[in-house]
Structure 1
Amino acid sequence: MRSTSPVRRLRLRLPRRMFSQVLLMQVAIAAGVAVLATGLFLAPLSRQLDEEAMRRALAIAETTAQDPQIAEDVRTTAPDRNGPVQRQAERIRRATHAEYIVVLDRDWVRWSHPTPSEIGRRVSTDPSDALAGKEVMEIDKGTLGRSARGKVPLYDARHRVVGAVSVGIAYDSVRARLISAIPGLFAYAGGALAVGALAAWLISRRVQRQTRDLAFSDISALLAEREAMLHGIREAVVALDRGGRIRLLNDEARRLLGIGDEALGRTPDEALGAGRTTDVLAGRVSGTDLLTVRGQRVLIANRMPTGDGGAVATLRDRTELEQLGRELDST
């Protein structure tokens, strides 16, 4: 025997009224667009900040490598934590606020480092490109953590590569700049979302007035009932828009007038040709229960204007009534 749980599943249900549904959907769309736009903005901003940090690191490395005394000291002295290369590199590092400036020789041995104990040891990353005379920009991870790096070759007075200069800028500082920009971006996104929500509310209010606050299900039911009524009645119904073009025909109208779907979107003159029936449908003849002839049929027509500038015309077949009357007289 199964035990019934007192906990019922909660179902997410949309509001029933069209006003609430349209407002909810438009706010959701506005929120989605704001989040998407923020994401699309953050992605290139992150790349831009990385590029800026790498170019700054490369510029510091180039400035350091242009000092001829550093190359001369690398060629003529030994690596020393108190040596001239270390002192000059640290002076530039403090002045530029770089994370590190590492000068190394062709054997990958460090001649300068923010941590003096690292001097005399081999570097942890491959400097082959810089030692081959190439400039390098990258985001990498070394002994000091993740950083934006710039590497350049170190030339002596005879333009021979005697080593390389590697400069790093802490990647955390780049991410910090990105994170600091996020509140401002969210502020702009929130403002855009608020404007979108206000516009959605105004549009929803207009839709509410025009639909008389009906639900979508009510509108679909009304449309189904209208279709059933139009095609079920024995009177011909012709609806025209404000431009005088036919926009609706029921089955009886097609039968009495002898036209089909090709008449939709055309004026009565184009669909029926010249004649009294056309004049009645176009509104050039006024009155009630107007008699008109279409082919072998005598029709009774009435035309009523609608609030949107169009009109609805109804047609009844008097031919069948007259035949019934004559048969009754004969009987």
Structure 2
Amino acid sequence: MSPTPSARRLRLGMPRRVFSQVLLMQVTIAAGVAVLVTGLFLAPLSKQLDHEAMRRALAIAETTAQDPQIAQGLLTTPPTKDGPVQQEAERIRRATHAEYIVVLDRHWVRWSHPTTSQIGRIVSTSPSGALAGKEVMEIDRGTLGRSARGKVPLYDAHHRLIGAVSVGIAYDSVRARLIGVIPGLLAYAGGALAVGALAAWLIARRVQRQTRDLAFSDISALLAEREAMLHGIREGVVALDRGGRIRLLNDEARRLLGIGDEAVGRAPDEAL
């Protein structure tokens, strides 16, 4: 026999018991908070790692630009794969583990590049900021893919602008650092979620004992029945709490005593 539509809705919907509903809501809230905190932590961390990578690229570019062999080679030799500029730039690149170090002249022509076939060609991204004497940090995409970049002007011994130095840090390395912290972060989030789930279970068990594991609809029905019973009988009913204050009045008690709802919460002598 197939289940009725109402039974099917009950099976697929929220649990009926107070214990199950409270537990489900508490665990959902704890999980939502854990996800939110994780997202709020990762967003600034990603920006911080990007900034650190750009600062490192800029520092390597400044070190390369201060190397006298770079400026001298740019002024006295042609851009070739065996030239002094390429040799010195590659030495610095290997020592610093940069993705690339590109030295270029004022006409945007490369004098060094990890891919030697690119030497003597025009750069793929504009170096106008560095050629204007400014230091530049950015996240951009070039011939070697997405990278964190630092660009600085290149001066000769007489402090004349003769070109620029561009250094890139592979963006995959930045992403790898970000991915590396995620397991630890998820472990903390999982621990917080487990504590939240345990607290939710304890709260739900307490609510279950106090409500005798009734469903919310059952509790609502009992309250409605109680109200109907109290107001339907012909005898006056007055209920007092431990402090002797009125907590409940039915219609007949109000009529007999000549008091209204304002008496609730007050002592009988005050109400009368």
TM-score, normalised via structure 2 length: 0.90
- Cα distance change on mapping 1:131 and 1:263 into 2, 3 Å: farther
- Cα distance change on mapping 1:158 and 1:194 into 2, 3 Å: same
Displacement of 1:69 in angstroms is 2.9
Residues 217-256 of structure 1: CA distance to partner in whole angstroms, max 9, x if unpaired?
Answer: 1101011111112222223333344444434333233333
Report the AA paired with residue 121 of structure 1.
R
Q: How does 1:192-211 map to 2 (within 5 A)?
A: 192-211=192-211
Partners of 1:214 and 1:31 lie apart in 2 by 26
- Aligned twin of 2:38: 38
SS in 2 for 1:239: strand
- Cα distance change on mapping 1:37 and 1:257 into 2, 3 Å: same
Q: How does 1:142-161 map to 2 (within 5 A)?
A: 142-161=142-161
Report the AA paired with residue 227 of structure 1.
E
Partners of 1:172 and 1:271 lie apart in 2 by 77
- Cα distance change on mapping 1:10 and 1:215 into 2, 3 Å: closer
- Cα distance change on mapping 1:265 and 1:103 into 2, 3 Å: farther
Does the aligned pair in 1 maintain the 2:69–2:88 contact within 8 Å? no
Higher helix residue share? 2
Higher relative contact order (CA 8 A, sep 6+): 2
Report the AA paired with residue 46 of structure 1.
S
- Aligned twin of 2:179: 179
- 2:24 is equivalent to residue 24 of structure 1: yes
- Cα distance change on mapping 1:247 and 1:51 into 2, 3 Å: farther
- Cα distance change on mapping 1:49 and 1:267 into 2, 3 Å: farther
SS in 1 for 2:122: coil
Residues 130-165 of structure 1: CA distance to partner in whole angstroms, max 9, x if unpaired?
Answer: 111111111111000111111111122232221111
Report the AA paired with residue 84 of structure 1.
P
- Aligned twin of 1:119: 119
Does the aligned pair in 1 maintain the 2:58–2:152 contact within 8 Å? yes
SS in 1 for 2:147: strand
- Cα distance change on mapping 1:62 and 1:253 into 2, 3 Å: farther
Partners of 2:61 and 2:147 lie apart in 1 by 14
Partners of 2:150 and 2:240 lie apart in 1 by 74
SS in 1 for 2:29: helix
- Aligned twin of 1:53: 53
Higher strand residue share? 1
Q: How does 1:94-113 map to 2 (within 5 A)?
A: 94-113=94-113
- Aligned twin of 1:319: none
Displacement of 1:269 in angstroms is 4.9
Displacement of 1:100 in angstroms is 0.3
Gap runs ≥5 in structure 1: 1-7, 273-331
SS in 2 for 1:236: coil
CA root-mean-square deviation: 2.0
Partners of 1:91 and 1:267 lie apart in 2 by 92
SS in 1 for 2:12: coil
Partners of 2:60 and 2:190 lie apart in 1 by 39
Q: How many residues align?
A: 265
Displacement of 1:270 in angstroms is 4.3
- Aligned twin of 2:4: none
- Aligned twin of 2:15: 15
SS in 1 for 2:206: helix
SS in 1 for 2:114: coil
- Cα distance change on mapping 1:163 and 1:238 into 2, 3 Å: farther
SS in 1 for 2:166: strand
- Aligned twin of 1:253: 253
Residues 272-318 of structure 1: CA distance to partner in whole angstroms, max 9, x if unpaired?
Answer: 3xxxxxxxxxxxxxxxxxxxxxxxxxxxxxxxxxxxxxxxxxxxxxx
Partners of 1:233 and 1:9 lie apart in 2 by 38
SS in 2 for 1:149: strand
Report the AA paired with residue 106 of structure 2.
R
